[in-house]
Amino acid sequence: MAPHDFWQEMHPPGSFRDDREFTSFYVATLEDGRQLRLPIRILGDAEHALASLIVNQASFAVLDALADNLAEKIRPMGVDVVAGLPTLGLTLAAAVAQKLGHARYVPLGTSRKFWYRDDLSVALSSITTPTQEKRLYIDPRMLPLLSGRRVGLIDDVISSGASIVSGINLLAACGIEPVVIGAAMLQSERWRERLADAGPQWTARTVGVFSTPVLQRNAAGRWQVPARPQT
């Protein structure tokens, strides 16, 4: 398939074999059985890889499906306002807020406007841009929208957990603790340890539309889901 064909269609259940072995794309399966094709990104050791999701390149139909699913997952938490993490999380957060019937959402950002306050910012790192030093800001004018409200913090993908913890820390600086954390994709299990270090409540409050594993190259050169260790 062409590189621009990824994340353009939600396929019906059973469209692709779930044989835990992949070549040119990974098949993510939602809880209702629908399937989404994702590109495989090879890691530095050339023996492991991850499935990738760039949500602002997705078709409107796929974005709508992901936002609808995530909104239903977080709806029981009674979220009053959605806060979105930059950059790709903003696309999903806005769509989720609309699905919840909200009139607006609160975007966090990495671009410092002259009226922003340094005490309302934290360091930000991302697995996709590891060499870039950024800071995460909130517009002080947005604080009344969050104060005393039940906040849902949304990102597109949670992988290492670094970005979402930055979001948690920034909201904490504002005196706010999210009631739920949501993402389209939970990528591997690496995020769990970092969120647990940030606070014992965060892992239990985190939900995703679907999860993807770290893939391993097998003897045939294909990518497979490693077998779970025997217990």
| Beta carbons within 10 angstroms of residue 161's beta carbon | 25
| Under 8 Å between Cβ of 153 and 168 | yes
User: Going from the N-terminus, what domains does the chain have, and what CATH number goes with each?
Assistant: 10-224 (3.40.50.2020)
Q: Is the peptide bond before 87 cis (omega within 30 degrees of 0)?
A: yes
- pTM of the shown model: 0.92
What is the Cα–Cα distance from 105 to 121, expressed in whole angstroms?
19
Handedness of CA 180, 186, 188, 190 (dihedral sign): negative
- pLDDT digit string (tens) for the chain, length 231 residues: 788 899 999 999 999 987 789 998 999 999 999 999 999 999 999 999 999 999 999 999 999 999 999 999 999 999 999 999 999 999 999 999 999 999 999 999 999 999 999 999 999 976 555 556 789 999 999 999 999 999 999 999 999 999 999 999 999 999 999 999 999 999 999 999 999 999 999 999 999 999 999 999 999 999 999 876 443
Q: Nearest CA to 5 among 39, 49, 28, 33? A: 39
